[in-house]
């Protein structure tokens, strides 16, 4: 079966200044990095509960979206956007944090479960429990022990991690560019074996 091209990229995060520069908002921040590179301007996407930008990639239009709902309702904006632009699940790429991988590790997948991530769970639920959509998982681990996970995800990055996190934002944007340019399978082969230097 021919691989469909990506027409919608959605980064997950929480709106508001208090959530900036936290592990749970790395999905937003990778999209912000992408926007800076390509002079994309996020505007309020009325009716979608999101900020949206349009990216022209080799003659194709790609929508870039950051939901304005909080993380556990991210799927509402995703469902509305997919209906508005008639986008199928395999044409939508979800970008989000993952504590299963250390900071700086990327993983691209064509499908999969939520893995305990509330934002991904919301998207799956709003898509009638369909899990067959691509995703870019951004390592923000290691996962803290016990009941400290929420505080870790919603707390500011430790200053010692600043260099690694900055590199992760750039690598995430690199991955998105490669996916749009070369497709999912070649990008998986490039990134999933580790964290490439280029």
Burial grade of 23 (CB within 10 A; 0-12, 13-18, 19 or more): buried
Residue 198 has pLDDT above 90, yes or no: no
- Sequence spans of domains, the chain: 8-191
State the pTM of this model. Answer: 0.94
In CATH terms, the fold of domain 8-191 is Rossmann fold (3.40.50)
Query: What are the residue numbers of the active site?
Result: 24
d(CA 188, CA 108): 6
Q: What is the mean pLDDT of residues 36-64?
A: 95
Q: What is the mean pLDDT of residues 70-90?
A: 96
Residue 2 has pLDDT above 60, yes or no: no
């Amino acid at each position: 079966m021919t691989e469909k091209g990506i027409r919608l990229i959605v980064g997950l995060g929480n709106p508001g200044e208090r959530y900036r520069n936290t592990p749970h908002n790395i999905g937003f921040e990778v999209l912000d990095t992408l926007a800076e590179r390509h002079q994309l301007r996020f505007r309020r996407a009325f009716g979608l509960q999101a900020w949206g930008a349009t990216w022209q990639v080799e003659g194709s239009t790609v929508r870039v979206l950051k939901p304005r709902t909080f993380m556990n309702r991210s799927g509402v904006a995703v469902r509305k956007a997919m209906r508005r632009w008639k986008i199928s699940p395999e044409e939508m790429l979800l970008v989000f944090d993952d504590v299963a991988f250390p900071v700086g590790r990327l993983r691209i997948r064509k499908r999969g479960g939520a893995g305990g991530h509330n934002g991904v769970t919301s998207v799956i639920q709003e898509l009638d429990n369909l899990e067959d959509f691509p995703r870019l998982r951004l390592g923000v681990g290691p996962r803290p022990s016990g009941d400290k996970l929420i505080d870790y995800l919603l707390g500011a990055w430790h200053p010692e991690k600043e260099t690694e996190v900055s590199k992760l934002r750039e690598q995430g944007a690199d991955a998105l560019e490669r996916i749009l340019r070369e497709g999912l399978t070649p990008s998986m082969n490039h990134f999933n074996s580790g964290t490439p230097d280029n």
